[in-house]
């Protein structure tokens, strides 16, 4: 049995999952900090 398709699937799931949560967290953080900075000077 060729094991490489299983290896590629496992690495693919891991890297896509890790990248997705990293990007989602980064975008959420940037958007929230930008909104907080924009409101800082409003009286």
Partner 1 sequence: MHIFANPARFLTIARPLTPWLGWIGALLIVAGSIGGLFITPPDYLQGDSVRILYIHVPAAWLGMAGWSGIAAASLMQLVWRHPLASVAARAMALPGGLFTAICLASGSIWGRPTWGTWWEWDGRLTSMLILLFLYIGYGALTSATSGRQSGDRIAAIYGIVGAVNLPIIHYSVLWWNTLHQGQSIGLTSSKIAPSMLWPLPLTMLGFTLLFVAIVLMRMRAALAEGKVEARLRRLANA
The CA distance from 19 to 1, in Å, is: 30
- 36 is a site residue for partner 1 (CB under 8 A): yes
**Smallest gap, in angstroms, from Cβ of residue 23 to partner 1?**
10
**Smallest gap, in angstroms, from Cβ of residue 9 to partner 1?**
5
Quickly count: other Cβ atoms within 10 Å of residue 4's Cβ. Answer: 7
The CA distance from 23 to 16, in Å, is: 10
Q: Name the site residues for partner 1 (rule: CB under 8 A).
A: 1, 3-4, 6-7, 9-11, 13-15, 17-18, 21-22, 25-26, 28-29, 31-33, 35-36, 39-40, 42
């Amino acid at each position: 049995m060729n094991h490489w398709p299983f290896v590629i699937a496992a690495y693919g799931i891991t890297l896509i999952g890790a990248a997705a949560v990293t990007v989602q967290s980064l975008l959420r953080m940037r958007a929230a900090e930008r909104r907080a900075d924009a409101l800082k000077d409003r009286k």
